[in-house]
Chain A
Amino acid sequence: GDSVTQMEGPVTLSEEAFLTINCTYTATGYPSLFWYVQYPGEGLQLLLKATKADDKGSNKGFEATYRKETTSFHLEKGSVQVSDSAVYFCALSDRRAAGNKLTFGGGTRVLVKP
Chain B
Amino acid sequence: EAGVVQSPRYKIIEKKQPVAFWCNPISGHNTLYWYLQNLGQGPELLIRYENEEAVDDSQLPKDRFSAERLKGVDSTLKIQPAELGDSAVYLCASSLGGRARNEQFFGPGTRLTVL
Chain A interface residues toward B at CB < 8 A: 4, 32, 36, 41-46, 49, 89, 91, 93, 95, 98-102, 104-107
Contacts and interface: CB of A to CB of B under 8 A. Distances in A.
A26 to B, nearest CB: 14
A99 B91 contact: no
A7 to B, nearest CB: 13
Interface residues of B, number: 25
Interface of B: 3-4, 31, 40-45, 48, 50, 55-56, 91, 93, 95, 99, 102-109
B95 A100 contact: yes
A101 B50 CA distance: 12
12 contacts: A4-B42, A36-B106, A43-B91, A44-B91, A91-B42, A99-B48, A100-B102, A100-B104, A101-B48, A102-B43, A104-B44, A106-B41
A3 to B, nearest CB: 10
Nearest to B9: A41
Nearest to A93: B102
B34 to A, nearest CB: 12
